[in-house]
A and B are shown apart, each in its own frame.
Chain A
Amino acid sequence: MSAVMNATAAEMNERSEGVWRAAWRRFKTDRVGLVSMGVVAIFLVMILLSATGVVARNFQQEVAVPNAPPSFLGARAAEKAAAAVAAPLTPNVDLSDIDPLAPRYAEWAEKAKQYHTTETVKATTLPLGADRLGRDVLSKAQKGTEISVFVGVLAALVATILGTLLGASAGFFGKKVDDFLEWLYNVFTAIPDILLIFAFAAVLGRGIGTVVLILGLTGWTSLYRQVRAEFIKHRQREYVRAAEAIGASSFSRMFRHILPNVSHVVLVRMSLMVVGFIKSEVILSYLGLGVPVDQVSWGTMLAESQAELILGYWWQLAAATVFMAVFVTAFSLMADAWRDALDTKLRGQE
């Protein structure tokens, strides 16, 4: 038999690194992954700032002339010309004898003095330009990022929790529970996705909360399928049988034993869902079925930009596209890197 060695107390208590720490160590060697995670972190900071109102609080205000170009392009020449209205050559004609309102002008002028109006000077250029109402595109893009990403992440969370719980139950218990959940799954997947989303949108209306609910309630099916398959696979595995043999309860077997072994699959799928739901929200908002009128998202920006493009104003389209592309690309690359770090089999080796 192997000899038993004497060990110090410290050695007795040493713990090896778990799966997550080992994955983090592997992740750190992937430069692309690290850069992507950095970019995502920057976006998260911006979202936090936007949510707390530090930036983009006044995205609704019309602070510039309509369709003001971005600063690096310089203000439009026509604007400058239009700003100066040609002065009249002769004084105005006096019409007080035929003008029925003439007697009351003096009274009104007095009353008008009581109201304080602020004449805001409309800017002729903004960092990223202005939309057709003169609102700051940069602020809108930042706010839109907050809304779109928030919806995407929250919806993914809802769908993940739903899909995981249902998938675990179906995969682990099998038989009647599985039959019922399979029926539910078949019902939800029989109706084409878009139609299901539209049906929910038709009855629930607009609003951020409803969009999250709609996407979450219609998007759980793919994760359900995967989690169910994983639980069926693991249920047969010997470590679960061993747990049953020593008397562990069903709950313990499902969530203390199997779930940690399946969690990396769930996380990868959830990151895919975040990307998918962000894109869905953009489309829903574009169609007017998503965020309410008083909010902005990348989708509403794209909706406005279509008309602007014909007139030659491309900056809102560019801003929304670039913000979205950078975030989604960074997020996807980061998720890929995490998946590779968690997956010990080396892909691309062959």
Chain B
Amino acid sequence: MLAYLIRRLWQMIPTLIGVVLLVFVLFKYFGSDPAVILAGQNATQAQIAAIRQQLGLDQPAWFQLWIFIKQIATFDWGKSWATNEAVSHLFATRMPATLTVMIPIVLLDTILAIPVALGVAYVRGSWTDRTLMVATTIALSISFLVYVIIGQYVFGFQLGWFPVQGWSDSTLTNLIVYCPLPVLLAVAVGISPQTRLYRTFFLDELSHDYVRTARAKGLSERSVLFKHVLRNAMIPILTNVGLALPGIFVGSFLIEFFFSIPGMGREVLLAVNRSDYPVIQASAVYLAMMTMLVNLATDLLYKVVDPRVVLK
């Protein structure tokens, strides 16, 4: 186990280097000249040259890369070009908001997975099943945007059950007052793809031999389905949830955008519109690291779910 852990951590290093290189090359060779962006609309050449020198852009490429790496290692990202806020401070203040919204969403998704999976298995082959499939297809064809627009309009604006937008400083208030509408919308939209996916998992499992053995032992259909098949189907279901986990850090930028929630997603979106390179670069690199660590954690937990897994 320890050997596995060490090897995985060791293998993360080349990937991290790759991410750093990708971000660096992308922004340096494809992006606009940062000096021009920072100098603003009416800058003179002298001003631009001065900024360039200040940022170290007149140095050779490998030196700039070296500075870049140093910044990552020391968690010093300089300041946002737009707001002059320290990027690290930005992370610290925005991340909690994102997590306040995303963690309830992931929890609800996971908890709902089991009843959804059971329901799908129970009705398979019947008319309900087929209606469900058509309904989910149609539901999936409508953009998420439409759901949020209409949801906000109906539940927030017309019916007034929830505030249309807003955020407070207290986590509790946020959870009770401002989160429900966005969380409910996100979970509701997520049910359609989940239903279809779990249905596929179930049909796959039902075609395996051990199902026939369970029937041959005299178990009731309910027992076969909800004990034997479900337990096996949980493996791909939990894999699926595990894949979604790294996404909680960026959060749903759309939700944050619509509901004006001051989270990481919205921050990155604003940065893109303002060409605020330090924020985007930092987000990319740090979130990549978080993703890799979360993936490692889920892989380790995998052994609990699937006894056939051998970690070597």
Contacts and interface: CB of A to CB of B under 8 A. Distances in A.
A309 B272 contact: no
A225 to B, nearest CB: 12
Contacts of B250: 192, 194-195
A61 interface: no
Contacts of B157: 310
A329 B138 contact: yes
Nearest to A329: B141
A191 B284 contact: yes
A192 B146 CA distance: 24
Contact of B22 (A187, A192, A306): A187
Contacts of B153: 309-310
Contacts, number: 131
A152 B276 CA distance: 28
Given A195-B268, A350-B203, A306 B149 contact: yes
B280 interface: yes
A289 B280 CA distance: 15
Interface residues of A, number: 49
A330 B149 CA distance: 24
A59 interface: no
19 contacts: A186-B15, A190-B289, A194-B268, A195-B250, A199-B26, A199-B27, A203-B32, A283-B254, A287-B269, A302-B145, A321-B142, A324-B143, A325-B142, A326-B141, A329-B138, A333-B137, A348-B125, A348-B129, A350-B203
A112 to B, nearest CB: 37
B287 interface: yes
A190 B288 contact: yes
B143 A190 contact: no
Interface of A: 183-184, 186-196, 198-204, 275, 279, 282-283, 286-289, 298-299, 302, 305-306, 309-310, 317, 321, 324-329, 332-333, 336, 347-348, 350
Among A202, A321, A348, find the residue whose CB has the most chain B CB atoms closer than 10 A: A202
A310 B154 CA distance: 10
A201 B272 contact: yes
Interface centre among B15, B31, B253, B269 (most CB of A within 10 A): B15
The 7 closest A-B pairs by CB, nearest first: A328-B141, A187-B18, A203-B31, A190-B288, A329-B141, A186-B15, A203-B30
B236 to A, nearest CB: 15
A321 B148 CA distance: 13
Among B27, B153, B280, B288, the one with the most A-chain Cβ atoms within 10 Å of its Cβ is B288
B93 to A, nearest CB: 19
B144 interface: yes
Given A187-B15, A191-B19, A332-B141, A196 B284 contact: yes
Contacts of A302: 143, 145-146, 149
A288 B284 contact: no
Contacts of B27: 199, 202-203
Interface string B262-297: 000100110111010100110110011101100000
